Amino acid sequence: MRTAALLLVFVTAKAIMLAGHHVSVSWWSPLAYFWQDAAAVLVFAALEWLARSHSRLAWTTYATAALYAAINIPVARVLSTPLTWPMLHAARGPLADSIRYYVTLPNALAFAAAVVVAVMAPRCLRRLPRASILSALTLSVAFGPLAASRVDTQGMERNAWTALVPLRAPGAAPPSTAGNDWRTGLEQTPQIDLSAFRAAAGGRNIVLVSLESTGAQYLGLYGAAPDPMPNLSDLARSAIVFDNAYAAYPESIKGLFSILCAQYPAFASDAERYASVPCHSIAAALGAAGYRTAMFHSGRFVYLGMNAVIRDRGFDTLEDAGDIGGNHQSSFGVDEPSTVARILKWIDRLPVGQPFFVAYLPIAGHHPYETPGGGPFPGADDFGRYRNALHYGDASLGDLRAGLRERGLDQKTLWIVLGDHGEAFGQHDGNSGHTFQIYEENVHVPFLVAAPGLIRDQIRSAQVVSLIDTAPTVLDLAGLPIPKEYQGRSMLERGPRMAFFFADYSLGLLGLRDGPRKFILESNSGRPQLYDLNRDPHERTNLAPAFQPQSRWYEQALRVWIASHTL
């Protein structure tokens, strides 16, 4: 009876999870979407048989399995994935405000529905023949993988328990299949000559601003209207603007590692492990050249192992929300004006003429998009609140610019402003937030180089670049040697290159941008997606079936690349 009851709980939970999402419909669909639920029930049936003489243990196991399935319903309704180990690892104190945001009546009712089924089902299904149920479950598991290969479930076939199985590293392609250099692609992007700026910013102070959760497509600088970040657009009037810049990873912490160290993070790796990864960071390189170095973060360094990425990386000063304090605090951090004031205070304490490097990491832009005092956009939905958060952060960017101007430093400063990753608002089914997918809204980010008095007019570059190119670009602008171990290349260099990115919080997704082409591979299922972003900027038409040779080449290139970046 408990076996049949748990099956009904899992089926109910899955049905509620799928409601409102796109569901691929075919004869294979029921098996494709529910076979992992059947597999989890079979495991429970085996445990129940082993505990047949311990009724209390069997009921405890049943209650635990059912309750965990119910807890996952609100998660999957919002994020289109049950909880995975990386998600559980991330669900700590700094995420408290985001978690509370989804404690809503509809989610509470969805959770309650599964609990009611779990309580009532054992009484209603006590007469069902156990042998028949086990036979049906076994057949479902036997043919489920075949069904899943014919139906694109986008990961929603996973049961709450099977989703906890760790992702396996993608298999490597034979070394000869994608050439000797995984950075060289099939396409060519029109390039402009930026070599005149090499060493042109030597001796300038350097301010690197990593904008939290800031996708290029939402900014006036990249064509959005109205513009949520007018100060950024004003700074960009005299800047090199890169139109095709990509985050290496759609999450802040390991993404920061790629920015500071010019290296790709490794697939399915915890950020805490990066403390032992050799890295000649941009801060260390500038410190060795005589710069004073500091990082100021409006959030908290304890989040997701960030300390392992930033400690002992060459920063003379490291301050986060706990050090800064402020007039407004959330679970994520403090208000941006307090952080900017702290940066300017640090600059004021430096010896006159001392060159400095400041990395400013605002938290504005992160879910749940809370801002003191609202903003100019309607705040009735997430997107309006998000743009208000960007506008709020932009005001502090303007304050930082004004502070440097008041100190006579504006003509002596090199600005690097980038988005650490993007943010999704349902442009693709189930794509919310930033961590789980690698569509344009997740990984296409702003990137600009501004140097008042040096770059007089806006220059637009269509070259494909990656955030791992940040450190070598800064050093190239400053006229300093670029460490040979860097995997990134200066954006001032001409030559073909691809940008690579991946996500591993839920599905194992690998991707690249090569000229106008964007390729995505779901590593476990092997499903490819190929888009022509010039004709299809919203990634609606998958060209992979029509361009199979190119798709195979890109898949092999991705597998060679990811296999060469391990811890």
Q: Is residue 450 part of a domain?
A: yes
pLDDT at 174: 54
Q: What is the mean pLDDT of residues 497-526?
A: 93
CA distance 39 to 32: 12
Domain boundary among 454, 474, 493: 493
Q: Are residues 548 and 485 in the same domain?
A: no
190 in any annotated domain:
no
Whether residues 310 and 454 share a domain: the answer is yes
Residue 93 pLDDT greater than 70, yes or no = no
- Domain with residue 555: its CATH number is 3.30.1120.10
Same domain, 329 and 246: yes
Is the same domain home to 478 and 565?
Answer: no
pLDDT tens-digit map of 206-244? 999 999 999 999 999 999 999 999 999 999 999 999 999
Q: Cα angle vertex 267, ends 432, 245, to 5°?
A: 60
Residues 240 and 335 in one domain: yes
Burial of residue 527, with CB atoms counted within 10 A of its CB: 0-12 exposed, 13-18 middle, 19 or more buried: middle
User: Cβ distance 443 to 467 under 8 Å?
Assistant: no
Read off the pLDDT of residues 370-386 as tens digits, 9 standing for 90 and up: 888 888 999 888 999 99
Helix (H, G, I), strand (E, B) or coil at 207: strand
Domain-embedded: residue 82: yes
3 state SS of 364 = coil
Q: Is residue 421 part of a domain?
A: yes
The CB-based long-range contact list for 531-540 (8 Å cut-off, 24+ gap) reads 533/440, 537/440, 538/427, 538/440, 539/428, 539/439, 539/440
Total structural domains within the chain: 3
- Whether the CB-CB separation of 512 and 558 falls below 8 Å is answered with yes
Q: Kindly tell me if the per-residue pLDDT of 150 is higher than 70.
A: yes
Query: What pLDDT, on the 0 to 100 scale, is given for residue 7?
Result: 86
Q: Indicate whether 201 pLDDT > 80.
A: yes
| 170 within domain boundaries | no
| In the chain, % of residues over pLDDT 90 | 56
Share of the chain above pLDDT 70, in %: 94
Same domain, 204 and 285: yes
Return phi, psi of residue 422, to 5°: -95, -160
Please report which confidence band the pLDDT of residue 123 belongs to, taking 50, 70 and 90 as the band edges.
confident
Residue 183 lies in a domain: no
Please list, in sequence order, all residues whose beta carbon lies within 8 angstroms of the beta carbon of residue 271, skipping any fewer than 6 positions away. 253, 254, 257, 304, 305, 306, 308, 309
Domain, as residue range, for 296 = 195-428+441-493
The Cα 505–Cα 251 span in angstroms is 9
Assign 3-state DSSP to the chain and report helix, strand, coil percentages, each to 5. 45, 15, 40
Identify the band that residue 565 occupies on the pLDDT scale cut at 50, 70 and 90: confident
Lowest mean pLDDT, pick from 364-368, 439-443, 461-465: 364-368
Among left, alpha and beta (phi > 0; psi -120 to 50; other), residue 419 is beta
The mean pLDDT of 499-515, rounded to a whole number, is: 93
Structure confidence at residue 149 (pLDDT): 86
Mean per-residue pLDDT of the chain? 89
**For residue 205, is it left (φ>0), alpha (ψ between -120 and 50) or beta?**
beta
Residue 332 is predicted with a pLDDT of 67
How much is the pLDDT for 329?
Answer: 66
The structure's pTM equals: 0.92
**Statement: residue 178 has pLDDT above 50:** no
Token match 């990249």: residue? 222
Sign of CA dihedral 151, 154, 155, 156: negative
Q: What CATH number should be reported for the domain holding residue 394?
A: 3.40.720.10
Q: Indicate whether 179 belongs to any domain.
A: no
Residues 254 and 278 in one domain: yes
Distance CA 84, CA 56 (A): 28
177 has a pLDDT exceeding 70: no
User: Higher model confidence: residue 305 or residue 278?
Assistant: 278
Same structural domain for residues 521 and 481?
no
Domain boundary among 124, 143, 164: 164
Residues 421, 512, single domain; the answer is no
pLDDT in tens, 313-344: 999 999 999 899 877 766 567 789 999 999 99
What pLDDT is recorded for position 130?
75
Q: What is the pLDDT of residues 445-457, one digit of tens each?
A: 999 999 999 998 9
Q: For position 179, what pLDDT does the model report? A: 46
96 and 73 in one domain?
yes
